[in-house]
């Protein structure tokens, strides 16, 4: 009997890999798709925490990550034992964790959020009178505290790609053109986010570009991983889209882990060869599933 293979790819993977996928999206879109996928094998061209999330949401499917080295600095910078102690030091707080986290991290959380729904989830918790701690992304948490006046205690880890965006280099780049706009992912440092006219998720930035009504000669700097520029240029070939610099003269900020998803690696994974996500215990998946499904249920009303 032929097994049904579904391939998912994040926006940060190479264009050639995206063209191999049944679904291309951001973390929230791919999580929802994985939950409903009628698949025997899910090939996840992304990073390990995404493949783990797919397995948690669709435990009957075999989930294969093309390259075992596809991790995330937000995961590797977080010691889960230390995180547990930190979480337990705030017993009267709700623990909101960004989806860029390991399964063990998610199991210690009350809510999982993505960059697309983090504002709405945390705002709703504060409306209920709850106190919140936020992990693991320090930059995202700092932006939320600044933007909305929260006082959330923050875990201290960063995305090594977004953390490189530099205010000084950005000022130089903007100063070198006649008219410029900046859009940014909330994993970027706070001084960069304070300069941006739009801060949002990968899909949010893509939609901003699609709807841009300004002058075609304007330069739009994008402070996120360079993979999404492919999708933006496909949608709006008329615009001058540039990745924000990480230092003067450099627009070269790629996620090394996402780029491990080569065409050859994905092809092997479609044949069942790769890192299978078969190491999570039933207890761990059950504990992690609760905050993920809480987020997905909350987010359904925001997705068309």
Average pLDDT of the chain is: 93
Lowest mean pLDDT among 13-22, 186-195, 250-259: 250-259
Share of the chain above pLDDT 70, in %: 96
Q: Does 303 have pLDDT greater than 70?
A: no
The per-residue pLDDT for 189 is: 96
Contact 275, 65 (CB under 8 A): yes
Whole-number Å distance between alpha carbons of 294 and 174: 41
Range list of H helices, 183-262: 190-195, 202-210, 228-235
Return the structure tokens found at 197: 């006219």
Cα dihedral sign, 289-293-295-299 = positive
Share of the chain above pLDDT 90, in %: 85
Whole-number Å distance between alpha carbons of 172 and 245: 9
pTM: 0.92
Contact 67, 269 (CB under 8 A): no
Q: Does 1 have pLDDT greater than 90?
A: no
Cis preceding linkage at 136, omega within 30: yes
Return the structure tokens found at 154: 């923050």
The per-residue pLDDT for 125 is: 97
Q: Which of helix, strand or coil describes residue 133?
A: strand
Half-sphere exposure of 304 (CA within 13 A, CB side): 1
The pairing of strands 275-276 and 62-65 is: antiparallel
pLDDT one-digit tens code per residue, 132-162: 999 999 999 999 999 999 999 999 999 999 9
pLDDT one-digit tens code per residue, 40-76: 999 999 999 999 999 999 999 999 999 999 999 999 9
Contacts 24+ apart (CB under 8 A), 155-160: 155/78, 155/83, 155/86, 156/77, 157/73, 157/74, 157/77, 157/78, 158/73, 158/74, 158/77, 158/187, 159/72, 159/73, 159/74, 159/100, 159/187, 160/73
Beta bridge partners of 12: none
First to last CA, the chain: 35
Radius of gyration of the chain (CA): 19
Whole-number Å distance between alpha carbons of 11 and 255: 11
- DSSP per-residue letters across 50-68: HHHHHHHH-TTSEEEES-T
Closest by CA position to 105, among listed 287, 282, 278: 287
Average pLDDT over residues 107-113: 97
Contact 20, 47 (CB under 8 A): no
């Amino acid at each position: 009997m032929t097994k049904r293979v579904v391939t998912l790819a994040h926006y940060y993977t190479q264009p050639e890999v995206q063209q191999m996928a049944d679904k291309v999206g951001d973390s929230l879109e791919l999580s929802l798709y994985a939950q409903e996928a009628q698949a025997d094998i899910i090939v996840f061209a992304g990073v390990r925490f995404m493949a783990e999330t797919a397995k948690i949401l669709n435990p009957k499917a075999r989930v294969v990550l093309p390259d075992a080295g596809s991790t995330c600095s937000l995961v590797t910078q977080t010691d889960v034992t230390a995180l547990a102690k930190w979480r337990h030091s705030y017993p009267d707080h709700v623990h909101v964790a960004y989806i860029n986290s390991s399964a063990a991290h998610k199991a210690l959380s009350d809510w999982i959020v993505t960059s697309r729904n983090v504002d709405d989830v945390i705002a709703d918790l504060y409306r209920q009178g709850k106190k919140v701690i936020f992990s693991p992304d320090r930059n995202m948490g700092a932006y939320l505290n600044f933007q909305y006046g929260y006082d959330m205690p923050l875990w201290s880890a960063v995305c090594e790609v977004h953390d490189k965006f530099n205010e000084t280099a950005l000022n130089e780049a903007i100063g070198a053109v006649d008219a410029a706009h900046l859009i940014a992912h909330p994993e970027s440092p706070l001084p960069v986010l304070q300069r941006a006219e739009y801060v949002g998720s990968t899909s949010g930035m893509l939609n901003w570009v699609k709807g841009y009504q300004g002058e075609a000669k304007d330069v739009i700097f994008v402070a996120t991983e360079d993979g999404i520029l492919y999708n933006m240029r496909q949608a709006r070939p008329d615009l001058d889209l540039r990745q924000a610099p990480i230092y003067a003269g450099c627009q070269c900020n790629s996620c090394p882990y996402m780029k491990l998803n080569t065409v050859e690696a994905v092809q092997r994974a479609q044949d069942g060869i790769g890192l299978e996500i078969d190491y999570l215990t039933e207890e761990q998946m059950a504990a992690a599933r609760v905050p993920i499904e809480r987020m997905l249920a909350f987010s359904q009303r925001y997705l068309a």
